[in-house]
Amino acid sequence: MEKRSPAGSTETGERQRLRSYGRRKARPLSGRKEQLLGELLPRLRLDLGKPAPAPLTQLFEVPVQEVWLEIGFGSGEHLLAQAEHHPEIGFIGAEPFINGVASLLGAIETRRLTTIRVHDCDAREVLPWLPTSSIGAAFILFPDPWPKKRQQKRRLVSQETIAELARSLRPGGLLRFASDDADYAGEALFLVSRSGVFEWQAETAHDWRIRAPDWPETRYERKALAVGRKPVYLTFTKV
């Protein structure tokens, strides 16, 4: 039997694939957050060892119309805002940073949200598990840009990732990407456009320079703006 890490990923998978994220944990967690990781997370964590339910909306105990995916939710600001604004949608959030996962769990408990499921490791483990055309929207917001040339092979957005998103998103589904690294944003635009499966929704420069009104702000975006970096916001639909 293949050994699994506490986060649910296989050791074989970790060896075969370069990590697209940095550290897994920072400062020590409070007692409450440790308790949430031990008690609430197991109830919300995806079980990738079993086939995904069909339809995917059956992941949730409450009725939902469709499922959206956020890859790398950080501390969960965007994910939580979307969940509160769209109670009819079920959400899958993937994030390997344990402190961010604990923050999300605290908000889920406090706000009594019932439409969020969690994968606390590499999102690329979730993508092939998803059924074809099962996701209504996917968000990749401010992923680690790995700016040094020797590091760029670690970037999350790759030809493989785009192919999996193209498969799992339904026709007309939304894909949003944001970065404050212009090189990474350009690479993402090139890879997504080259796939031939997505249509970029920008008509003017305003469309990629200004965050859409229904696009909640994240902590990483605020940090970028505070030091003068200008984010790029890309929106695509699956054709």
Residues forming beta bridges with residue 235, ordered by sequence position = 176
- Residues 216 and 236: their CA atoms lie apart, in Å, by 17
DSSP string, 59-121: GSSS--SEEEEEE--TTSHHHHHHHHH-TTEEEEEE---HHHHHHHHHHHHHHT--SEEEE-S
What is the DSSP pairing of strand 169-179 with strand 89-94?
Answer: unpaired
- Residues 77 and 45: their CA atoms lie apart, in Å, by 19
> SS in 3 state form for 127-189?
HHHCCCCCEEEEEEECCCCCCCHHHHHHCCCCHHHHHHHHHHEEEEEEEEEEECCHHHHHHHH
Is 47 among the residues known to form the active site? no
What is the DSSP pairing of strand 232-238 with strand 169-179?
Answer: antiparallel
- Residues 211 and 224: their CA atoms lie apart, in Å, by 13
Helix (H) or strand (E) holding 36, with range, is helix 31-39
* Residues 6+ away with beta carbon under 8 Å from 228: none
Catalytic choice (47, 120, 122, 144): 144
* Residues 6+ away with beta carbon under 8 Å from 112: none
Hey, which residues are catalytic here?
144
